[in-house]
Amino acid sequence: MRLITDIQKYSIHDGDGIRTTVFFKGCALKCQWCHNPETQKAEKELLYKEEGCIGCGACSKVCPNGAVSIQNGKAHTDRNICTACGECTDVCSLNLREIAGKEYTAEELVKELKKDEMFYEESGGGVTLSGGEVMLFDMDFVEAVAKKLKRAGIDVAIDTCGYAPRENFERILPFADTFLYDIKTMDNAVHKKYIGFGNEQILKNLEYLSCMGARIYIRIPTIREVNGDTASMKAILSYLKEKKIRAVQIHLLPYHNTGSSKYARIGKQYMGEALHAPSKEEMEGLAKLFKEAGYKVKIGG
């Protein structure tokens, strides 16, 4: 069994063609701009829209752990004792509560994904396994899903930050058609500041995949304060050239804060308020660097 936060159908930004993207729960990185904070924790957790609460108290009455109380006319959840059992979600008449994370067996997940086979075939699409970080936990499950999809003739893409054990990539390599691989910055100190960990393991895994002939799309979340300048992009470009990384495409992904509202729902503070996207002109200038070096470049997913 593995926890899935969402199965997004008719996705056109997570690989070639029309795809279904599976968001696995759990990630070691803590990117300050993370769009899906509900996928970071590897366990189920409660999402709650407190601003809409009318304080009816129904949730507090059914909580088996006493984690919910009414304070100042609204339901307050003590997340230190909440087990995300879901009892409160069933009684909220305004649908303000939901549980992030649904358990699937490999068979159940593949059955759901095969429902869209017609769209994959007509568009040259397939399934993208994303996160969180799909490569971090329970590779028996991930390998089983990828194998079943490949046997059904369905294209498989792996969307990864690269921060996972090398052996996990060795296991999935025979069953993955494409890797959508993130590079944030070559500056290790900047990487630690904004992401929580250094980039050594990420780069080593990328070099391994390239050496093994994997089909790789490099994805660069582009943020003015982190890497959205010529020097930072030239450093990434120099690395790709020096290590002979076999990148089919480069995707520059302008920063956006559309996931910021999710943080309050899981009891966290959004740390990306001071971050900004480069201007359109700046993005085009950064893309030009890669184009002049011979890469196929796309701004956006």
Segment 164-190, tens digit of pLDDT? 999 999 999 999 999 999 999 999 999
Name the percent of the chain lying above pLDDT 70. 100
- On the question of pLDDT at 270 being above 90, the answer is yes
Predicted confidence at residue 294, as pLDDT, reads 96
Q: What is the pLDDT of residues 248-263, one digit of tens each?
A: 999 999 999 989 999 9
Which residue segments constitute the domains of the chain, with CATH numbers given? 2-42+104-299 (3.20.20.70), 45-100 (3.30.70.20)
Q: What is the pLDDT of residues 66-108, one digit of tens each?
A: 999 999 999 999 999 999 999 999 999 999 999 999 999 999 9
Using alpha carbons, select from 248, 243, 184, 185 the residue that is nearest to residue 216. 248
Beta strands in 96-201 (DSSP E): 97-100, 102-104, 126-130, 155-160, 178-182
Q: Which one has a higher pLDDT value, 240 or 301?
A: 240
Average pLDDT of 125-147? 97
Average pLDDT of 151-155? 97
- On the question of pLDDT at 153 being above 80, the answer is yes
Q: Specify the pTM.
A: 0.95
Q: Which one has a higher pLDDT value, 271 or 301?
A: 271
- On the question of pLDDT at 301 being above 90, the answer is no
Token pair 């129904």 in the structure block, residue: 58
CA triple 250-252-156, angle to 5 deg: 55
Indicate the pLDDT class of residue 133, thresholds 50, 70 and 90: very high
Cα separation values, 78 from 67, 71, 87, 100, Å: 5, 12, 15, 17
* Token output for 145: 């899903």
Using alpha carbons, select from 44, 141, 155, 182 the residue that is nearest to residue 191. 182
Indicate the pLDDT class of residue 277, thresholds 50, 70 and 90: very high
Predicted confidence at residue 91, as pLDDT, reads 97
Indicate the pLDDT class of residue 124, thresholds 50, 70 and 90: very high
Predicted confidence at residue 250, as pLDDT, reads 98
Q: What is the mean pLDDT of the chain?
A: 97
